[in-house]
Amino acid sequence: MLHALHIVVCAGIVPDPLQTLEPVTGANGPALKNETMLPAVLDPWAASALYEGANLVAKNPGSKLWLVSMGPKAKLQQVMMTVAQKATFELVPIDSASNGFADAHATAAAVADAIEGIPGLEKTRLLIFGGWESASRGAGVTLQVVGERLGITDQFMGVDQIEMREDGSFEVLERVEGGKHQVSVCAGAPAVFGWATGNLPEPRGNPQIGMANMRTVMPALQKAKPTTLADGGLKFVSATLPSQQRQTRVVKDLAPEVIAAELVEWIGAE
């Protein structure tokens, strides 16, 4: 028997990885230089969660997918132009900074409040999805705190696969050391899943899905009210870019097996 699920994906937006990110200290603490101008993408870890969520919704008729995303409204709009073509969802935007310096607890509070405010959401069917990691200095706790605030204590991190069972329970594969997975069985919703990469490729864009999504995405963006996150006493002593390491040797006419051996040796040393 299939079960209708209410899946909420929490996915932030992050600066395009190709951009130079330069921390600066502003009036409100650390921020990124030219933050508002940096092109953004959906956080790649959370994007995996979105694709997995869409897949589960497609397999379980009657299910519904929401995407809760925090970021400056203009940036969210830009990112949604691409993301909205990948899967059918309803956007729940939170208009706030997304520079990675926000306090994880304040962020989790805002996200949990947004989830609580979703009309028609049933907690007994609720699966909270998100990224296990983040491309923007994730504190590694946001998703768990969101779950706690919503009273959801079944939480799985580093998830690569969920298999729904007929009785509503599901088997979860979580990454552990050595490329292995820990297998757990959860009795059913509600639960929190911090996804690793999952197994699904990025879906093909479909502009017709995008157009359908836009009918709800654009009004939601227009209605989104600016949210200021409390700093919760968080203070940054300093913020610097990691120093660039470039160790280049120019070597000619080296046999492939010698190169391979050297790489193995180098990896071993690391």
Partner 1 sequence: MATSATASSAIMLTLPTDGIRQMQWRFADRYDLQMLVQSARGVARGTVAQMVASGERNSHEWTPAKNEMLEAFDRAGITAAFMEPEEGGFISGPKNLALALAAFELAWVDGGAATASLAGFLALAPIHERGTPEQSRHYKELSAPPQPGEDRKPWRGAFVLTEPIPYVGVDTGMLSGKVRIAEWREDEEPWLQVEKRGRFITNIAFANFVTAAVASDDPRIKGSCVVILEETDEGTFDHGTPTKKLVHQLSSTGDPIFNLKVPAGRIVGGYAVREGVLVPNFNHSEVIEAVFRRTRVTVGLMTAAKLLSAVEPVIRYQRGRFRGAEGAKPGTVRYEQGIQQREDALHRLVEVWATGEAAASLGFAAARLFDELDPIEKQKTAIMAERGISGGRAELKALRASEERAVALLRMSERDPRREEIAADPLVQFVLKDAEANVLCPATKLWNTGVGANMMREAVSLMGGYGITEDCPGFLASKWMDAQLEATYEGPEAVQRRQLTITMTSEVFLAQFSAWTGEMRKIAATHPGTGACTLATAMRMWQWTLEHLQKATDASGSKLYHGQRQGVTFPLADALCWLLACRYQIFDVLELERRGYADVTSGGDLAGTVRFLSELCHVQSARAAGEVSRICAELVFGYNEHPSWESEKCATCCFSASEVDELEETMPGIAAMAVDVIGPDGSHPTKAGPCAGCAGANDFLQLQNKLCSCLSGSRLAKDRAAETVSKVMIPEALDYPA
User: Which residues of the chain form contacts with partner 1 (CB under 8 A)?
Assistant: 16, 18-20, 33-34, 36-39, 72-74, 77-78, 81-82, 84-85, 204-208, 210-211, 214, 217-218
What's the min distance (Å) between Cβ of 95 and partner 1?
9
Cα-to-chain-centroid distance, residue 175: 17
Nearer CB in complex with partner 1: 53/72: 72
Task: Select from 94, 52, 83, 69 the least CA-distant residue to 13.
Answer: 69
What's the min distance (Å) between Cβ of 116 and partner 1?
26
Nearer CB in complex with partner 1: 130/210: 210
What SS3 state is found at 40?
strand
What's the min distance (Å) between Cβ of 92 and partner 1?
18
Nearer CB in complex with partner 1: 40/104: 40
User: Are 252 and 32 spatial neighbours (Cβ–Cβ below 8 Å)?
Assistant: no
Other beta carbons within 10 angstroms of residue 168's beta carbon come to 16
Nearer CB in complex with partner 1: 117/205: 205
Please tell me the distance from the alpha carbon of residue 171 to that of residue 163, in angstroms, as a whole number.
5
Nearer CB in complex with partner 1: 169/216: 216
Cα end-to-end distance, the chain, whole Å: 49
What SS3 state is found at 7?
strand
Q: Is beta strand 191-195 parallel, antiparallel or unpaired with respect to 126-131? A: parallel
User: Are 91 and 210 spatial neighbours (Cβ–Cβ below 8 Å)?
Assistant: no
Please tell me the distance from the alpha carbon of residue 164 to that of residue 151, in angstroms, as a whole number.
22
What's the min distance (Å) between Cβ of 25 and partner 1?
16
Nearer CB in complex with partner 1: 76/126: 76
What's the min distance (Å) between Cβ of 214 and partner 1?
5
Q: Tokens 């979105």 — which residue?
A: 50
What's the min distance (Å) between Cβ of 218 and partner 1?
6
